[in-house]
Structure 1
Amino acid sequence: MAPMVDEDVRWTNFVNVTLAGNALRKTGGADNGFYDGNAVSQQTITSNGYYEFKATGANVERVTGLTDTPANTAFDTFDFYVNLSEGGFAEFRERGVYLGDVAYNAGDTFRITLVNGRAEFSHNGVFRVRSATATNTVMYASASFSLLGGEISAARMGNISGGGCAVNPSQTSVNVAAAATVVGIDINIGAGCPWTIVSNAAWLTVNGPSSFVGSGVGGVAVAANTGAARTGTVTIAGFTFTINQAAGTPTCVPPAVNIGPGVLRICEQASWNFTATVTSGTGPFSYQWFKDGVAISGATGTSYGSASASFAQAGNYSVQVRNACGTATSTNAPGNLVVAGLTSLNPTSAGVPASGGTGTISINTGANSLDTSCGYVYTVNDTWITARRDDTGGSGRLIYTVTANSGAARTGTITVRNASGTRSLTFTINQAAATVTCTYSINPTSANVGAGGGNGTVTVNTSAGCAWSASPAAGWLQVTSSGSGIGTGTFTYLAAPNSGAARSGVITVNGQNFTVSQAGTTTGGNVQDVIWTSLVNTTATGGTIRKTGGRNDGTYDGSGVSTQSFSNNGYYEFTVGGADVERQTGLTDTPSNLSFTTWDFYVNLSEGPVAEFKERGVYLGEVRYKIGDVFRITVENGRARYSHNVNIILTGNATTGGALKAVAAFSLLNGEVTQAKLGGLTGGCSYAIAPTNASAPASGATGTVAVTAPGGCAWTATSNATWLSVTSGAAGNGNGTVAYAAGANTGAQRTGTLTIAGQTFTVTQAAAAQSSPDVTWTQLNNVSLIGATLRKTGGANDGTYDGSAVSREALT
């Protein structure tokens, strides 16, 4: 046979792969990187010719090329092949030896051309590399896959010498009767040409060997058909052979069905189930359950029930069964479901005065109570409550007693359960507080902290039952634990680092003021947004710098440097923005050197996400972070202190006396540093505000603050209190004006601050008007107090005035 010039690859010997059109894809087997999917061409080439394909399908690893041992699917024995990795790189290899690689995209075309037995690899028509050796053996195209969805398509071979392996079937289909039979399919093919037979239908099975070499007969066993006419296929020697089977003659017997059990007597919330048993009939069957003669939506299984019985589920159940030739309804006694148990408490709660008292709870077990095992038990959950059972007269009830209360208002419960423990109801008792006069004191009443921030503990002294809460009036002060309590207790506070002048703030505890005085710092003056310059593969806006160009493979080729600098004392602050990718940023006195391991002080932000604090490449410590977190490197007398979200993490060891600039480096696209600021800058910017404080009424107020600064000196205005807001002038350059608003105050007097151009502006707001307290009733006689309601609950009911109470408060 004369060599063919060019044709599509005719794949055979399929293992865990499927051929759809001209696409060969892994559709079965393992999906864990194990190479268990492969196929081989029927055609061959020798010395001169080519194999071409496209990389399509899922972006997973697969291997394809030319081999002279098609029975061996270990791809590292292939003579010449392309290894397509998940990383988007194609490696060219010769019997496992690496020759070179190229980046590729889905749909790219690869070709391996044999020229006098030596392989030349090309990608999208561009020559890439040539093999070191030549071969004159017969070469087959082969493909191997390790992950589902791996695919190659449009595979072609040119100057083919193996056309003798082509199959030109004389018959591609056969019609058979409904009875079981065996079909033989003759395959005439060249000697030495391998081929397989694979069934594509459950009722067709390979009868005899499933793989052959050279001409042969593939056998297919056809199962008997008892249903409608059907069509199935087998894939034999790379082509599809169709078997059409005539319809069978089904035998159908109408169904009969019973239901069991006949009667279920259960407690509420217990599980239950009725089962349908088909006693005769021809399947398949369909089922429909009924309750009290009404079909139950979605109840179409062989059984029906519930994991938790309710009274609404009680009733008579039946099932209807249907097949191709009839319908039957359960003929034995219908399934009767009886549900019994605890239903409700009356009442469900009660209010009791501080002096104590008694009361009664009625226990309702429902009209369907047919099983004494569905009775009830009770548990008193608080030591100041006792209860006893009283079932006289045939009705269930509990009589409870509440002791006198000498402290704060309290709540207790009695739990009533059914006997099986599957349902419980709660009776709640709310007892009024004893008369207590609450006074408060704190120790200490003040504290001094350094500019770097600090924390401490304050003790609140008060009587048992007296509630208190601690509220900071300055945004830089936080109550970090135990911000409220009852009786004597403690709370802890945290003062954030101070980048400006000395300041003071107050934490108020029930009318007592704890004052924190914080020193100013030499490192915070002259604060400016970082002006980024020397941009490489980055863009910058305001204090934000982001990698927008260059490589995206972990190579550090994006950077920027601040135009501003400071010496010995100052700080660099930034917020983590953009994508969760690795980046480096910090301070250096050699900004021309973008090798971050030489930077004086910096933070290594990994994808972990872990932030490592480093000095000239030396690891100091680390902390976990997320996008939006704020970091600060404060330099005092040339030594760095590292903070994360205002918390000081550690102080470094190295010192520097050079002029420090902010610097950032990026290895992946969309890495970002935002809201970057430098404080303590060298450059002549100074700021003043007027006024520095203001008062506001409880109803709220607005005002303005004037900023004085040289031209070109940038500044910002931010609020440190939730009730204060900057309404205009949040950022400026040179002289400007900031407008603010104070919200209405519904509590005690409070103080808040704005940070404007690095200076502190303080607003003190008056307290809200106090409302009248509720009446505290005492000397209760034949009356009960329920919340704030006084009600006659005892004594005569004939018009005689024998119920009374007196307020504890008095008017003058």
Structure 2
Amino acid sequence: MATVAHRGANLSRSLLAALVAAALLTSACGSSSQIDTVAGPSPAKCGLQLTAEGAPFPAAGGSGSLRIDTARECRWSAKTDAPWVTIAQPAEGQGEGAVRFSVGANGEATPRTGAISVNDQRLEISQAGKPCELTVSSNHESVDGAGGDLSVNVRASAAQCAWTASSSVSWISIVAGREGRGSGAVTFHVEAVVGPPRTGNLTIAGQNVQVDQGTGCSYAIGVDTFSVESAGGDRQVPVTTSAGCPWTAESRVPWITVTSGATGSGPGVASFRVAPADTAARTGTLSVAGRTVTVTQSPGCTYAVGAETFSVDAAGGDRQVAVTAGPGCAWTAESRVPWITIASGASGSGAGAVVFRVAASDGPGRSGTLIVAGRTITVSQALGCTYSIAPGAVNVSAQAGTTTIQVDAGAGCAWTASSALPWATITGGASGSGPGQVQIATAANDGPARSGTIAIAGRSLSVAQASGCTFTIAPSSQDLAGDGGNVAASVTTATACPWTVSTAADWITVATPSGTGPGQASFTVKPNLSPPRSGTVSIAGRPFAVNQASQCSWLLLPPFHEFGDGGGNGNVLVIVSGACSWTAVSNASWIQITAGSSGVGNGLLQFVVPRNTGGQRTGTITVAGQSYVVRQQGVTSDVR
């Protein structure tokens, strides 16, 4: 037993090791395994891979494309959490696809980030801040041999723009403003000189500021700021200084050109030219006699759109307008009518596109406008009127009357109603626009049922009027002898009113089964070889009674029967004057016919009456149409 247990333990450990190895192998291969189900794509199978084209973006903005790689049966939807990122439509799709988006201009110096999310994947979009523009109030300062403190102002395009100030020589030291953000001032100290004139340099906000000491020259300019319209033009800067003091003028931006006075000595004038602008507002500087001249030019943006008119069918849909504009030129898009909405591109900068959506129309043709980049876009939509009437068919009585039909149509949708029926006329609503009603008067009908159609809003209304026919017959009944014969009845009605003649009696034969208008119905009654009988003929829906006597006569003997409470048998002799048939039927459950229930000519009827345990009772037997009376006494009890 010990040996078996040891072998069993070894076997268990081997099996456990095999299972662990199999589990590790399965785990290692798990990344390449896949289970397909018919229920739809699994979350793992619908994983997304996003690739952005055109990122990162400069401060001026721009447009880009987001590539989506996924299984073809996987649906996706894109959205953004950044108001300065606009996703073009469509923003939803299935399988591999791409989403276009645009990034607006960043007016701040600080970079920013946003994201576009596609399902549970998030792709970060980064945009650089607007480049800092730093200028100094002077690039050239002069101080006499005694030295002293001087200041240079720093102008920054944004409060976040950082700058520093440093001296390249030991005899000029920064007193205040060694570092700063936004606009500020740098104060520096120039030590007294005991030797020949000297020149040193400061670097302030990345600009070189030359400091001359001991030359005795000082400079001033007449104007240090200019505002120029987008068309550009020439401007002049007067320079004031002592005779023999040299100065220069130079531009710091390519769109400002010094046209005269690039160099001078003593008092003079520097002239410069500003080029026309086709972009957003811009600012540049030039240095004149060591002073900074700032030039601000108004926006010179021009805009164009790809199309100014659109024709859209009644179903509506999306349309796109391309916008052409210079870099940084901002524009907006807005609709002037409620049935046109901006789907994407409500605002933008530079070149871009606006997608607008036209709602489906169920009314007349219409025209509306939207304003894109200051341009008027006209949209014309085709007729979208649809019509329906209710009810679509009417049944009216034979009496004169009026029927109202409801017309359902979009506002502004015109319609008409007309009738070619002589007995149905339009009395109201012969024409209309939008929802409305039509009144139809029908004349009284004294003839057969009739029907026709009336045209309303392009739809066909079926009108059916009941028959107005009335019928009378004369006479309404006829008594005949047992020999039978021919019978006729006059039918009175309006012309064209149809009528029929029918009967369920097999001894009456209809000679005129139908007719139209006034006429005569005739039928034949066969001889009666049975007891008297009655039948009905339907003439134009009216009953005509036929009562026929028999050709025979019957005598029943004895004329009645009486029994005591003990009951007994009864016999009735049926005497017939001819060869007429007859039947006998008991009308009481306690009278039972035992023989002679029918016969032809003379015969014998036999019946039995059982003991009566109750009170006196009377019953009948119908024999040849006659009632034969049977009476039975009741039980009597002795009173002592």
Same fold (TM over 0.5): no
The alignment's TM-score, normalised by the length of structure 1, stands at: 0.23
Indicate the structure (1 or 2) with the bigger Cα radius of gyration: 2
